[in-house]
Amino acid sequence: MESFFWLGPSTRSSSCIVALVQQQHAQKLMDTLDAGYPVAKFGSTLPKPASFLTRIGDGAHVVQAGVPTPAA
């Protein structure tokens, strides 16, 4: 099952990032972002994502950096 990843509008621009991730990869993604946003790969113009919604089809959960992913 895919889940919805959303980074809302930033103060630097009116854009947002939307991506689909699988539930089992949610914590790995947040751990990676929490450890250090890959500026060399994505540049420094984008804000670091702080949270995203997961398991949309089965009740939404907000996943935040440093907070464990809810059990599937």
pLDDT tens digits along 11-33: 555 445 555 556 666 667 666 66
Is the residue at 32 inside a domain?
yes
Residues 39-71: tens digit of each pLDDT: 676 666 655 555 555 544 555 555 666 666 655
Is the residue at 28 inside a domain?
yes
Domain coverage including residue 47: 2-64
Is the residue at 69 inside a domain?
no
Is the residue at 37 inside a domain?
yes
Contact by Cβ (8 Å): 18, 4: yes
SS3 49: coil
Q: What DSSP state is assigned to residue 66?
A: T
Is the residue at 70 inside a domain?
no
Count of structural domains, the chain: 1
Q: Nearest-CA neighbor of 52 among 63, 65, 39, 68?
A: 63
SS3 45: coil
d(CA 22, CA 40): 25
pTM beyond 0.75: the answer is no
